Chain A
Amino acid sequence: MPIIWLRVALGFYAVGLLHALLVLTRQTSWLARIALPAMTLGVIFHFVSLAESVQQSGQLTLLSLHNSESLLALLIMAAFVIVYLVYRTTSPGIVVFPLVFVLTFAAASGQQPFLLNSPALRKGWLLAHIILIFAGYAALLISFGASLLYLIQERSLKSKQPASILLRLPALEVIDQIGYRSLLLGFPFMTLGLVAGTIVAQAYFGRIDYLDPKILLSVLMWTVYLIMLYTRWSAGWRGRRAAYLATGAFVTAVVAWAANYFSTIHGIVQS
C-alpha cells in the first residue's frame, strides 16, 4: 500500500511543480489557488505512505535509499509549510515544489521500478530523454552566452569610454531578457529530461545507483539550475552574480556530460 499513497502524493506534487513553472514565466498562475491545497494533500498522503511503510517494517528504516529520499522530501515540505504558516509566503515554493516532486518521484519509482517490457517503449523513452536533455542543454548554453555578453556590455557602459558607446551590442536589458527567457524555457525540458532518464535507467537496470557520478552530477546541475532560476526570480540577480551561477551550471553540465566516460549508466547508449 505505501507505494500507492506515495504515488497519490506524487500526483498532488505534480500540480505544485506545474504551478512553480507557471509562476516563473508569468506573474500569476491559474494554479495559484489550488497549488497550496494540492501540496498540503500531497504532504498528508506522503505522511500516510511513510507511516505505513514504517509500520510494516516495524522501524524507521533508512536502509533503503528510497525511503530516505521520501523522508527528505517530506521534511522539506514540512519546513515549507512552517515557513508559510509563520511568514505567509509561498515564494520558496518555486524551489521547494520541483525539488519535492523530483525527490518523491525518485522514491516512488525506486520502490517499484518502471518495467518497460517492449523494446519500442524503451526506445521511445530513451529518445524522449535525449531530446529533452539536449533542449535543456541548449537553453543553458544560450543563457550562459547571454550572461557573458551582459558582462561585456555592462563593463563597456561602466567604463564610459566614448568608443564603447559605439560598441554594437544589444541593449543590456535585451541581453538580460534573452538569457532569462532561455533559462525559463530550458528548465521544464531539463526536469522532464531527468525524469525520463530515471525511467529509462530503471527499465534497463531495474534500479538506479544514485552514487553513480553521472547521476550525481546531473542532479547537481539540475539543482544549480533551480537556484539560478530562484535567485533571478526572487531577487532579480543578474549581471556578475547571475553570470557566476550560469558559469557554475554550465560547467556542471559539461562535467555531467563528460561523466559519460566514467559512468556505467550511460553504457546503454553504446549498447
Chain B
Amino acid sequence: MNFQLLGINHKTAPVEVRERLAIPEARLAEALRRIAAHPGVEEALILSTCNRVEFLARTRNGSADLHGFIRDYFRIDPAELVPHLYEHRGRDAIRHLFRVAASLDSMVVGEPQILGQVKGAYATARAVGAVHSQLDLLLTRAFAVAKKVRADTGVGSSSVSIASVAVDLAKKIFGSLQGKQVYLVGAGKMSELAARHLLAHGAGSIFVANRTYERATQLAAKFGAEVIHFDQLYDTCDRADIVITSTGAPCAIFKREHGELFLSRRKNRPMFFIDIAVPRDVDSEMNKLDGIFVYDIDDLQQAVSSHIAGREKEADRAEAIISAEVEKFHVRLQTLDVVPTIVSLQDHLENIRQAEIDHVRGRLGHLSPEQDAAIETLTRGIVNKIMHTPITTLKTAARESEATTVIEVIRRIFNLRGEDAGRRDGWKTERSHAQIASNESGELETEIKADIGAKS
C-alpha cells in the first residue's frame, strides 16, 4: 500500500503554473527513468496532460521525497508550487487515480480523452520498466474501473463540448458524416475546432471563406481545405451539407431567401447551419425552411449544459462505484502482501520435512513401497497440521490493518529469511497479465488456495 501521488491540476493551478511542470512526450521516457531511480521509489508513473501533471509512485517504505524529484528535475523550488500541489498516499492515492481515469476529475466530467492519456502514460512507463509490479496491478485495475464507470453510469455517455454536440446533431441529420461537405464561413478558433471534430467523424472536404483572404488561406492550409473568395459565398454555399459560421458581421449574412436558393439548388437535401457567431450570422427565419436546421451558440450551449446537468447525478453514482473499487483493491493488495509469506512458509517446512526423511532413511535400510508411502503420509500430515493455523491467521489478517505485524511475527517465528522484496515482485511477474487483471479478491483467494494445494 505504499502508493504516493503528487500532482497539480486545472483546479489547483492556472495554466502558467501547470505548463512549468508539463513534460512533453518526447522527454517522458527519460523523466520516468529519473523518477524511478529517485531514492525510495520502486515504481513510478508520470501523467502529463494539458490539465494535469501527476507523479504516481510506489515507494519502498511508505514515503519518498517526490518534492525532491520536482526540485531536481525541473530545477524549481517546490516551495513556490506548494500552494498548488496536492499529495495523496495509500488509499487516497488509489482513489485519486481511479477518479482521474474515470474522468471524474476532469474539467469536463466524463470527457473520454483522459483514459486514453492515462493508458498512454502507462504504456510508456511499462516500456521504460518504471512500472512492473504492484503499480501495474493498480493501473490495470484503474482501467477496468474506468470502463465500469462508463458502462454502468451515464458519465461519458454523451458528448459534451460544443463541438461534439455539433457533431452529434450533424449525425442526427445525416446519419454518417462520410463524405459530407463542411463549409467554414469566418475563420475563428471555435469553427476550426468544430471542423476538426467533424473531420474526425468522417466528414469529407472542407471549404473556407473569410473576409480577409490570408486568414482563410492559413486556416485552409491546416485542413487541406479549399479557399473560396468571400464574394462567391452565396454561389458556392449550396455545396455544403454543414455550414459553420463565425464571422464578425454586424447583421445576419444568411437570410431566408438564401436558404430557399440553396435548397432549390441542392434538390432539397438537408443543410445544417452551426452559427457560433455573436451577433448571429444566420437569420432565425432560416430555421423555418423545410430541410434547413439552424443551431446558434445558445442552442448548442443549452444542449451541452443539459448533458452536464444529467452528468452530475451520474457522477454521484460513479463516485460510489469508485469507493467500492478502492476498498476491493485495498483488500486485494493486502492479500497480495500475505501470499509470499505463505509460500515461504510452505517451502521452509517442506525443506525441513525432506531433510528429515533423507536423514532417517539411511538408518532404516530397505523399506517396502507401502512403508515408504506411510512415511510420506505421516510427515505430510504433521507439516500440514503445523502450517494450518499460521496460514489461516495470515489470510484473516490480510483483511485487516494488522497484516504487516502478523507477517512480521510469523516470519520471525519460523525464521523465514528476508528474501521478501525480491520474492514479492518475482511472485507477481511470474504470473500472466490476465491473471493479475482478474478482478475480484475472491478470485485471488482461490488463486492462493491453488498455490497452497500445489505445494502440499
Contact = CB atoms under 8 A, between A and B. Distances in A.
Interface of A: 153-154, 157-158, 160, 162-163, 165-166, 170-174, 234-241
B290 interface: yes
Contact of A157 (B165, B173, B175, B302): B173
A160 to B, nearest CB: 5
B216 to A, nearest CB: 29
Contact of A166 (B158, B174, B175, B302): B158
B169 A171 contact: no
Nearest to B307: A162
B173 A172 contact: yes
B224 to A, nearest CB: 25
B166 to A, nearest CB: 11
Interface in B330-365: none
Nearest to A240: B290
Given A170-B175, A171-B175, A162 B302 contact: yes
Contacts of A162: 302-303, 306-307
Interface of B: 158, 165, 168-169, 171-176, 264, 266-270, 287, 290-291, 293, 295, 299, 302-303, 306-307
B172 A236 contact: no
Nearest to B268: A236
B175 A236 contact: no
Given A160-B302, A171-B173, 11 more contacts: A157-B173, A158-B293, A160-B303, A163-B306, A172-B173, A173-B174, A173-B270, A174-B175, A236-B268, A238-B268, A240-B290
Contact of B169 (A165, A235, A241): A165
A76 B266 CA distance: 29
A241 B172 CA distance: 21
B270 A172 contact: yes
Given A157-B172, A170-B175, A236 B303 contact: no
7 contacts: A158-B287, A162-B302, A162-B303, A171-B175, A171-B176, A239-B268, A239-B290
B303 A165 contact: yes
Contacts of B306: 162-163
A171 B290 contact: no
Contacts of A237: 268
A52 B403 CA distance: 113
A239 B223 CA distance: 34
Contacts of A172: 172-175, 270
Q: Which 10 A-B pairs have the closest CB atoms?
A: A236-B267, A171-B175, A162-B306, A236-B268, A174-B175, A239-B290, A160-B299, A172-B173, A173-B175, A173-B174
Contact of A171 (B165, B174, B264, B291): B174
Contacts of A238: 268, 290-291
B447 to A, nearest CB: 43
Given A160-B302, A166-B158, A241-B290, A235 B173 contact: no
A236 B269 contact: yes
A235 B267 contact: yes
Contacts of B268: 235-239
A234 B270 CA distance: 15
Nearest to A175: B175
A166 B295 CA distance: 16
Contacts of A240: 290
A165 B171 CA distance: 11
Nearest to A157: B293
A132 B407 CA distance: 83
A231 to B, nearest CB: 10
Nearest to B306: A162
Contacts of A171: 171-176
A235 B266 CA distance: 9
A153 B270 CA distance: 13
A165 B291 contact: no
Nearest to B296: A160
Contacts of B172: 153, 157, 165, 171-172
Nearest to A153: B172
Contacts of A153: 172
B143 to A, nearest CB: 28
A174 to B, nearest CB: 4
A173 B267 contact: no
A204 to B, nearest CB: 44
Contacts of B307: 162
A157 B269 CA distance: 15
Contacts of B303: 160, 162, 165
Contacts of B287: 158
A235 to B, nearest CB: 6
Nearest to B168: A165
Contacts of A239: 268, 290-291
A22 to B, nearest CB: 19
Contacts of B264: 235
A18 to B, nearest CB: 24
A236 B271 CA distance: 13
B293 to A, nearest CB: 5
B33 to A, nearest CB: 48
Contacts of A174: 175
A174 B174 CA distance: 7
Nearest to A236: B267
Given A165-B168, A171-B175, A172-B173, A236 B266 contact: yes
